[in-house]
Chain A
Amino acid sequence: MSYRKRLRFMSLRARILAVATVFALGAVAIAQAQPQSGIVRPTTEPSNPSAQLGAQLFAGNCSSCHGISGSGIASPRPGAGGIPGAGPPLQRVGASAPDFYLRTGYMPLASIHDQPAPDRVLFSDNEIRSLVAYVASLGPGPAIPHPAPASGSLSDGLHLFTEHCAGCHQGLARGGFVTGALVPPLQGVTATEIAEAVRIGPYLMPRFSQKQISDSQLNSIIRYVLWTRHPSDRGGWGIGNLGPIPEGLVTWWIALPLLVVACVLLGKRFGR
């Protein structure tokens, strides 16, 4: 995590360096080396998304881990700067997975030792479309889904989410920890990203088939997850919707200090 941040601080210098490297390698760089940080871009970028731009970006930013043409690299292999690269093959992931992994900022991964985590998105929309088009062209696979959360039911969504997702993501999708992974909160994700994640199963998250969760059930789940951004806090200040931990904090840091101050004042007031 911290390593990753440090890399980002260096990004300007590193970017210049990286662009220079690409320049030296020619327009279509087949970069064996993983760029240390930032993004490697062709010097003149077309303004429309194209699989060709995607191929260039892929070669410069992804192939060190995912192999040339997304064939995958099974075991860690040193890339530029000694950073090892390894990643799954991308020849059958279709358009949905790259769209999800790029729009959440999961990819490009800074270090294969890190869990992919929601992060700043480093690519422009144009570049993401190009990369998605390129990865999708590598082989058959699912297209980007188009969920319709409005047609789902909030009540079903609550129930299905509790059944399938809350064990990891917490009942109100506030995130948490499971052995081996940090589970992100879901207040910042879009409907499309939720639909993609459920079918892909990123990292330790299981992949849910149509049999387990149908598309209409998925719509209900998405409707519920979007609702958790502003759940119904009938009781007043929701204190984070995290349950007893903040409640205990309020008890000890608001209620009790007030009462102790009252004791001190009353002890003085009627003392003499």
Chain B
Amino acid sequence: MTDPVQDPVRFIDERTAGAALLRRGLRYLFPDHWSFLLGEVALYSFIVLIGTGIYLALFFDPSTAKTVYHGPYTPLDGQTMSAAFKSVVDISFAYKAGLLIRQTHHWAADVFVASMVIHLTRVFFTGAFRKPRELTWIIGLLMLFTAFLEGYLGYSLVDDLLSGMGLAIGYGVGLSIPVIGGPMTLSLFGAPFPGKPELWSRMYIAHVLLIPILLAVLITIHLALVMARHHTQFRQSRRHTERRIVGVPLFPGQTPRSLALVFFVAAVLFLLGGLVQINPIWQWGPFEPWLGTNGAQPDWYLGWLIGALRLMPSFDLTIGHFTLVPNPFWGGALFPLVVLGLLAAFPWIERRLTGDRTTHNLLDRPRDAPNRTAFGVAFLTWVFLIFAFGAADRIFVLLGLSYNTQLYIFRIGIWVVPLALFFGVRRVCRELQTSDRIEEVREQAEHEAEEDRGAVAGAPAQPAG
């Protein structure tokens, strides 16, 4: 008798010896706290990105050859545009579910990066980056910055008005990097802006193949490292210690959780894709170097760079008449490098400052490390304020607060507000610690009092806890 289930399973197991590995994997314990699911949101957004991206790649044409549009969208009728732009207009108006998939793809990108940022803040404020998980932290940061680049390439490929203006800014920032910037940017673009047609095939191969593979590899290493050193956990009970893991197994405990989350993430992204318009390129129209629109913005995850470019006082590093470092370098290149560098070095900086070299499997609550928490809040606020200034022109239009007034407020505010927050937050953390200690002492005292009374009455002492 053959068994339709057991036989194929045995066949595979005998040839792969996979059962033992699988059993180990299924028994892997997940910490029991919702904040550990934030990273999964990013992972599932990435999966949606890949899925929708494959569909879009079936129709997208990465070519700058000029064509004349005659399609269903009449306001563009008769306009000359690149084949790339036309193919995206066609995806939006002519192909089945094209617009839904396109919008879902774009929302997924926005959410992918946002969920990574949230995940990063959780990891930071709980000290999960400490030994032995520094590499996991660094890989995470690399993924974040790779995602910035991937998103930028994605919307640049479309060749609409906004993407062209974004490329022009990227070109300027690239040129501003001392020594290597000029040759590197020029060889990438093939010629001075707007570059040669090759630029499109380069961006395309990077966007649909090279960077997704890089991201997938980084994700794999990230997860492998998490598994290897195991998750961290909160000190939720006395059973949670540095050496003992308490949690739910991958199967059956975590699996339904993660499955539900996959579906929820996909549902939110597809709902947004179907209901909320994102990057309506048919409204912006095709790009030509002499065209532009007021208030052009990059996607949100690059907004902090626009804010930095605008906030930076006009200041070039010059020797005589020779400009050594042009202005866009400060906001567009140095600023993100400083942010990346500081975050990447943070585990070592903290170790230096606290002298704590031990291994940590238990997480801090934010209050447990007042200096770290205070620095984190100040640092995030610094970046956020610079980000917010990127929208100063819109704030002016909406609230009437003049651009120059805002410029002065922000130039001072980005230093003063984080500094004030640093001391404020540190204070709050310490107060919370104190009240924790008082609470502990009180419980202890109550406990002892009870024991005393018990002894007096001759009753047996209550067992602890």
Give the interface of A toward B (CB within 8 A). 1, 154-155, 158-159, 162-163, 166-172, 174-178, 182-183, 185, 224, 227, 231-239, 241-245, 247-248, 250-252, 254-256, 258-260, 262-271
Contacts and interface: CB of A to CB of B under 8 A. Distances in A.
Interface residues of B, number: 70
28 contacts: A154-B74, A155-B78, A158-B79, A166-B291, A166-B292, A167-B293, A174-B397, A175-B294, A176-B393, A177-B392, A177-B393, A182-B397, A232-B283, A233-B280, A235-B278, A239-B276, A241-B283, A242-B295, A244-B162, A245-B297, A250-B272, A251-B114, A252-B114, A259-B115, A259-B268, A266-B34, A267-B257, A268-B34
Nearest to A258: B268
Given A169-B294, A242-B394, A266 B103 contact: no
A245 B110 CA distance: 12
Nearest to B403: A177
A173 to B, nearest CB: 10
A270 to B, nearest CB: 4
A168 B292 CA distance: 9
Given A177-B295, A235-B276, A255-B268, 15 more contacts: A154-B74, A158-B285, A162-B293, A172-B283, A174-B397, A177-B396, A233-B277, A245-B300, A245-B394, A251-B114, A254-B276, A263-B34, A267-B33, A270-B256, A270-B257
Interface string B256-290: 11001100110011001011111110111100001
Given A159-B79, A255-B111, A263-B38, A248 B74 contact: no
Contacts of A242: 295, 394
Given A243-B296, A270-B253, A263 B261 contact: yes
Contact of A154 (B75, B115, B283, B294): B75
Contacts of B38: 260, 263
A262 B45 CA distance: 14
Nearest to A164: B291
B303 A234 contact: no
A227 B300 contact: no
Contacts of B296: 243
Interface string B169-188: 00000000000000000000
Q: Which 9 A-B pairs have the closest CB atoms?
A: A267-B34, A248-B300, A235-B277, A176-B294, A171-B293, A263-B37, A177-B393, A251-B110, A244-B297
B295 A234 contact: no
Identify the interface centre among A159, A183, A231: most chain B CB within 10 Å of its CB. A159
Contact of B290 (A163, A238, A241, A256): A163
Contacts of B431: none
A175 B400 CA distance: 13
B99 interface: yes
A54 to B, nearest CB: 33
Contacts of A175: 294, 397
A256 B111 CA distance: 7
Nearest to A241: B283
A266 B257 contact: yes
Interface in B185-214: none
B77 interface: yes
B84 interface: no
Contacts of A171: 161, 283-285, 293-294
Contacts of B269: 255
A252 B300 contact: yes
A236 B274 contact: yes
Contact of A167 (B280, B294, B391): B294
B75 A243 contact: no
A176 B295 contact: yes
B52 interface: no
B316 interface: no
Given A235-B280, A251-B110, A258-B268, A155 B79 contact: yes
B95 interface: no
Contact of B396 (A182, A251, A262): A182
B298 interface: yes
A251 to B, nearest CB: 4
A233 B93 CA distance: 12
